[in-house]
Structure 1
Amino acid sequence: MLTTRLAKPGRGPHPDRPAGGNTPHTPARPGWHCRVDGQPWPCGEARLLLPVEFRDNVPGLTIYLAGLMYEAMRDLYQLNPHDGPEPEDLFTRFVAWAARRTERAQ
């Protein structure tokens, strides 16, 4: 079975935003929900903030999100190997929204 051969998930991304008392809208692993509002990450607020952080670097945002999608796949399939999320659903959740948002902005 492929799922038993997956590497143990790493600790995941750490917030790189300044500490100011506000918890940033970053993913809590291994469940991949927002640390602030508990919604599936990227939550609505993260979807607003991430394009601002990657202003003129849409390819960088896409690569960043694709990397996090890969990490989420590993974590979520490790948590539930028999009923994990569909890859297409994870792509839509993590990557596709950024491309659609960029197209609308232009």
Structure 2
Amino acid sequence: MISTRLPTPGDGPRPERPRVAGGRPPHTPLRPTWCCRADGQPWPCGEARLLLRREYDGNNVGLAIYLAGLMYEAMRDLYQLNPHGGPEPTALFNRFVAWGASRRPTVHRPELP
């Protein structure tokens, strides 16, 4: 018998980045609320974004994949906490993924005569 029901996806990546040396609390997410362990801001906080950009320097695809996986994990957690008033998908995408995308400089084409 063929089922039309899709299997439940497995877990995404573990939120272990950005990595920090020293005795300070890391700017990693505290689950299930997805607030920063170090400063209590919605994760990824400003400091986490800076550290992640440095850690993934030159690997924008890797950063995007990591952030998309964590966005999936955050959706799972946040919608379980608040099934009827959870964050909008667009807001989560902007919070987790959109800021990390590489931006190509605008190319100005010369006008043709």
Same fold (TM over 0.5): yes
From 97, 102, 106, the counterpart of 1:95: 97
Higher helix share: 1
Q: Percent identity?
A: 68
Match of 1:57 in 2: 59
TM-score by length of 1: 0.80
Deviations 1:45-90 (A, max 9, x none): 0111101100110000000000000000000000000111000000
TM-score by length of 2: 0.75
2 CA distance for matches of 1:97 and 1:16? 15
Shift of 1:16: 7.1
Shift of 1:17: 3.0
Q: How many residues are aligned here? A: 97
For 2:88, give the aligned amino acid.
Answer: E
1 CA distance for matches of 2:17 and 2:67? 15
What do you get for the CA RMSD once the two structures are aligned? Answer: 2.5
Which 5+ residue runs of structure 1 have no aligned equivalent? 1-5
Shift of 1:14: 3.6
Change (3 A) 1:23 1:105: farther
Match of 1:81 in 2: 83
For 2:103, give the aligned amino acid.
Answer: E
Q: Higher mean Cα deviation, 18-27 or 75-84?
A: 18-27
2:103 is paired with a residue whose SS is helix
